[in-house]
Structure formats: structure tokens, C-alpha cells
Structure 1
Amino acid sequence: MSKMIIGIMSDSHDNLDAIERALAVFRDSNTDMVIHLGDIISPFALAKILEFPAKIFIVLGNNDGDIYQLRELAHKAGAYIRPHMYITTISNKKFLLMHGMGNIEQTLQIVESIANSNRFDVILYGHTHRVDTRVIGRTLIINPGEVCGYLSNRKTVVTLDTETMSYRVIDL
């Protein structure tokens, strides 16, 4: 499949109302795949995400608890769950999926250094709770911000069309 609509979310921090709103946006956008970039937190929040009828990819974050239960739930649902950083190919494009590490500045330094390598078409990351969409070299960088709205008072997700590489930041 070359064209795909990806729903990108991060840092939902157990906010079920916001998770439901994010999934409604993804439904309305005809999303083919959901990528969560970490800090789901609890198994009950992951269970809500796993109800979405699409391929689901999860990268664990620094605040995710009960990783054993999260992995069990994901496995039973046929979802992919990976450690804090993962490389994959989607629609013939090389993606780096990561949560983030250290403070905001350290995470940005890591993302920018990797982007400058020009080894990836797309870098998706979370952790900072801030929307970040830009291109460095040939690499599209997207941080969807936070679903939970706890740090920025802004709840956001991003949809990405892998054919046109166009994206939309959507407030929940």
C-alpha cells in the first residue's frame, strides 16, 4: 500500500476523554494506521486505543507503567509495541519512531542530529508535549504535541498522508 493516512498521537497520559476525541478525528480522517509515540501510561488507556479498527503501532514512553500488561494487551490485539525508539518502513518510506529522552532541549538535539543524517524520510517523536512540524534536509519531523492537554492546555494530534507527505495538526 503506497498511500496511507496515519494518525499520530503522543502523551495521552490516561486522559480517556481526549483519547476518544483523538480516535474520533482519526475515524473522520479515514485513518489507516495509528501511531502512538509514548506515555499512554495505563493498560485501561491502551485498551481504549486498541478499540480503533486500524493497524496500531506504539512506542513506549518514559512514563508508561505496567509495561508487561501494555505488551500483553497490544499482543492480544495484534498491535505493535516497541521500546522507546524504533525504525520501520511505511509506504516505502523509512520512519524513525521515538518517544524522546531527557529534557526538551536534549530531545530536540537528538531529533535534529538524526534528521541531519538524512537517513530517514520521517521522524515522529513525542515527549516534549509541544507540536513540532518541520523539515531538516530531506527528513520530515513531526511531534503531534500532547493528547492530554496537561502541560500546554492544547490537545492535538496529526494526520499524515504518506503519498503527498502532507500533514494536518488538529486540535481536539
Structure 2
Amino acid sequence: MLVGVVSDSHDDVASVRKVAEFLHRSGVEAVVHLGDIIAPFTLRELAKGVGVPIEGVFGNNDCELELLLETARDVNARVSSWPRIIQLGGRRLLLMHGKGSAEVTVEVAHALAESGRFDGVLYGHTHREELSYVRGVLVLNPGPISSALGGPRLALLDTETMAAKLVRL
């Protein structure tokens, strides 16, 4: 299963549209958003563009949580607090955003991977890409969608092989 992995859109609708178009053309079967969607209209734009189910978590800047949940129900998306454990393509993935310093967020992501309880630990928040393996567990941060934060960036994840590719648009 090919999965698009995104994070930190921060209401940059132009970049969200670019990313959604790329993911649609890439043939992804699902999209994971790792937080800081910000406003419901951003989630709606992403969903409209990709046309596949979206799984996500809230970020530290997401403040309209009830409206995000309502929008998610309308657009074939599921968003909740983190950490969140999901099954995609037969793989057990832990989704998280992060909080506080980038260093602590990375340390937490790596510690979760070290546990060996997941096939992948996917996180956002730091606005920095990461594609690594800790004891055979994928640790992935796609970087930000928002162009103001260095994006648009995203990742493609093949759940069959657990290989990922970082993409900059």
C-alpha cells in the first residue's frame, strides 16, 4: 500500500493543493497527516485534492478541534489526539506530532521506535525531515507542507517494504 505522509500544513492552502495534486498523481491509497493542520478548511482542501482516506493527529497549533473533527467526518478523515496507533497496509504505525523542543520530540520518536512495538513511528512538529531506521523500525518525519517553514515537503511510504522516500516540491 502506498501512503502519503504529510505534516505541518499551517493553513498554507497553495502548498496543500500542490501536495494533494502530487499525492493524487502518485496513486496513494491513504494519507497520514501528523498535525498542525490548523483550520478545518485546510483539511477540506487536502481531502478534496487527494480523494483517499486521511488518518491524522492533532498538533500543538491545532485549536479548532471540534470543527476539525466535524470536518473530518465530512471528508473521509479521522483525526484525534496523539499518540495514535493505526493499522495501514497490514503495518502497525504510531502517529504523533510533538511538543516543546525539536530535540525532545526526536528523542521521544526514537525511544518509541526502540520499543520494537511498531513497524513505524511517524512524527511532525520539528519542521525537519527524518528518514531513519531504529532497530529495523522506520522513523519518519516528512518535513512541513508550509512553504513558510521550508516546504512543501512530504513522504511516500510503501507499507509492503516499509521503504519511504522524502519528496520536496
Give me the TM-score of the superposition, normalised by structure 2: 0.95
CA contact (8 A) 2:3 2:30 kept: yes
Matches of 2:76 and 2:159, distance apart in 1: 22
Give the structure 1 partner of residue 42 of structure 2: 45
Give the structure 1 partner of residue 28 of structure 2: 31
Structure with greater proportional helix content: 2
Given residue 39 of structure 1, which amino acid in structure 2 is its aligned partner?
D
Matches of 2:55 and 2:139, distance apart in 1: 18
Q: Deviations over 1:96-118 (max 9, x none)?
A: 01111221011011111111111
Structure 1 window deviating more from structure 2 (161-170 vs 5-14): it is 161-170
**Pairing 1:1-172 to 2, within 5 Å after superposition:** 4-51=1-48, 52-151=50-149, 153-172=150-169
Matches of 1:17 and 1:99, distance apart in 2: 22
Name structure 2 gaps, 5 residues minimum.
Answer: none
Matches of 1:83 and 1:60, distance apart in 2: 5
Matches of 1:90 and 1:76, distance apart in 2: 21
Matches of 1:154 and 1:91, distance apart in 2: 27
Cα drift, residue 76 of structure 1: 2.1
Matches of 1:61 and 1:162, distance apart in 2: 24
Matches of 1:78 and 1:27, distance apart in 2: 15
Give me the TM-score of the superposition, normalised by structure 1: 0.94
Cα drift, residue 90 of structure 1: 1.4
Matches of 2:5 and 2:116, distance apart in 1: 22
Could you say what secondary structure the match of 1:150 adopts? helix
CA contact (8 A) 2:9 2:145 kept: yes
Matches of 1:88 and 1:19, distance apart in 2: 23
Cα drift, residue 149 of structure 1: 2.6
Could you say what secondary structure the match of 2:148 adopts? coil
Name structure 1 gaps, 5 residues minimum.
Answer: none
Change (3 A) 1:104 1:162: same
Cα drift, residue 46 of structure 1: 1.2
Matches of 2:112 and 2:78, distance apart in 1: 23
Matches of 1:44 and 1:108, distance apart in 2: 29
Matches of 1:168 and 1:138, distance apart in 2: 16
CA contact (8 A) 2:47 2:76 kept: no
Matches of 2:112 and 2:87, distance apart in 1: 16
Identity of aligned residues (%): 36
Given residue 16 of structure 1, which amino acid in structure 2 is its aligned partner?
V
